[in-house]
Amino acid sequence: MEQVTDHILAAARKVIAVHVNYPSRAAQRGRTPEQPSYFLKPSSSLAVGSAGAPSTVERPAGCELLGYEGEIALIIGKPARRVGIEDAWSHVEWVTASNDLGVYDLRYADKGSNLRSKGGDGFTPVGPTLIAADTVDPAKLRVRTWHNGDLVQDDTTAELLFPFARLVADLSQLLTLEEGDIILTGTPAGASVAKPGDVVEVEVSSADLTTGRLVTRVAEGTTPFADFGARPRTDDLQREEAYGSREAAGLPAPAAILSPELKAKLESVSTATLSSQLRKRGLNNVSIDGLTSTRPDRRIVGLARTLRYVPNREDLFKAHGGGFNAQKKAIDSVNEGEILVMEARGEKGTGTIGDILALRAQVRGAAAVITDGGVRDFSAVAAMDMPTYYANPHPAVLGRRHIPWDTDITIACGGTTVQPGDIIVADADGILVIPPALAEELADDSIAQEREEVFIFEMVQQGHSVDGLYPLNAAWRARYQEWEAGKPND
């Protein structure tokens, strides 16, 4: 094995990168390509990686999203032009580790080329050690990435969408791969964002052979972009792409479609009726139990936002409990008509919300707050127009038993699972969690069921037995259909 040197990298006239190649990455992106696709990185983006002394890459001034991607790099040893798959691997001389860095803040300006977003100086560290290609099976390589010491990527080449030999052969059909050219072969799931001060390490191995860890430290750039070119900008879509998911990026889950028409339908039926329709569909564990409402006269319908508390541990509370913590972030970001649902593990020995934060939620237009823990300042909270569902009043602050930990994730509240974007329906009978995909048909069937029950109620009032009437047998259903036909349409 040899060390990667400036001389080796200087021989690279082309750096070619594959967009998507690992099934885990394709699943994360939500798209699986039928054929490989590529982009070019300038050779000036290359940097020598050293195991002993990390290379440094700048996150450009004004940028937020410096993405890292641990990859296996192939270095061409002899020119390849229109080679077949069976011969392609023989044109690869070396295998090593690389980090395909890029700033998502400039993707919009590249129109797919990735030139500025991925072509910055130092954005392609390579090394530290070369593994001879003829000593390994290209289908038995492993790539791992660590971010600040945590293993975040770990995958093998056993089930690549496009094996390495296919990449070499495919590229060679149109362009000549020259000695020293580098192919970056794609990244598995787990790629994310590095911030100034972070350290990213990448290692490629096969059996007892290893490249060693390619270590890159991130620094903050200090020179701003000039005003005569595209300036960095980003949005939530780019944050989701850079971090790998909305949850990892700290973004709320995409809202379910709760149209005014669907909302009105769900408001028109009781939770008792909805519960029976959910049960018909095999959903028996969708009620948030054991809570009381400050406004039992109200029926509410809204989309769930979530907040999770974990048990208090004093050292962790110091880091997570103060300042603009997860509790305050959740309340300060709840939107009009949404319902903030809190997981407090059923712990009643402290408050999870008080009058000031409840007022903030109400001012922001929250439809309700639901917690399976305690409520402080209960008289003031109970006097508000916004309903709060709670386990009990309690005077203690949340730090007695809780740490506000994270938001907009899947939680457990009152014995059931709640996901961001679930539809919550609550009234005097209880609180239901409705999967968004079922909501429309559930509402329609519930309306039909309640229409039947109006007929049944009238028949019972007239003195009829419930035998055969509730539920309707064939004879009673025929009478119901006659009754229904004679009613005006609402």
Distance CA 343, CA 213 (A): 40
pLDDT value at position 7?
A: 82
Query: To 10 degrees, what angle do helices 326-333 and 355-363 make?
Result: 30
The dihedral sign for the CA sequence 284, 410, 399, 368: negative
Distance CA 490, CA 487 (A): 9
Nearest to 100 by CA among 182, 11, 2: 182
Amino acid sitting at position 42: P
The dihedral sign for the CA sequence 84, 90, 91, 97: positive
DSSP string, 277-326: HHHHTT----EE-S-EES-TT--EEEEEEEEEEEE--HHHHHHHTSSS-H
Which uninterrupted H or E stretch holds 265?
helix 260-267
- The SS3 of residue 121 is coil
DSSP string, 337-349: T-EEEEE-TT--S
Structure tokens given for 245: 């998911």
pLDDT value at position 484?
A: 84
pLDDT value at position 51?
A: 62
Q: Is the peptide bond before 471 cis (omega within 30 degrees of 0)?
A: yes
Residues of the chain with pLDDT under 70: 1, 50-52, 254-256, 488-490
For residues 428 and 410, is the Cβ–Cβ distance under 8 A? no
Nearest to 246 by CA among 407, 363, 451: 407
User: Domains (ranges, CATH) in the chain?
Assistant: 2-243 (3.90.850.10), 260-437 (3.50.30.40), 441-485 (no CATH)
pLDDT value at position 247?
A: 86
Distance CA 166, CA 172 (A): 10
For residues 188 and 24, is the Cβ–Cβ distance under 8 A? yes
At residue 311's C-alpha, the angle toward residues 308 and 312, to 5°, is 115
pLDDT value at position 324?
A: 79
Collect all residues with Cβ–Cβ distance below 8 Å to 126 and sequence separation of at least 6: 4, 9, 46, 47, 48, 49, 73, 96, 97, 98, 182, 214
Which position has the token pair 């899947």? 410
Collect all residues with Cβ–Cβ distance below 8 Å to 458 and sequence separation of at least 6: none
Query: To 10 degrees, what angle do helices 439-461 and 271-280 make?
Result: 120
DSSP string, 366-428: -SEEEESSEESSHHHHHTSSS-EEESEE--S-GGGTEEEEEESS-EEETTEEE-TTPEEEEET
Structure tokens given for 14: 């082309």
Report which DSSP code applies to 136. S
pLDDT value at position 274?
A: 96
Distance CA 359, CA 339 (A): 14
Distance CA 47, CA 55 (A): 8
Structure tokens given for 322: 């103060």
Which position has the token pair 């997981």? 343
| Residue-wise pLDDT tens digits, 5-62 | 788 888 999 999 999 999 999 888 777 888 999 999 999 999 987 666 778 999 999 9
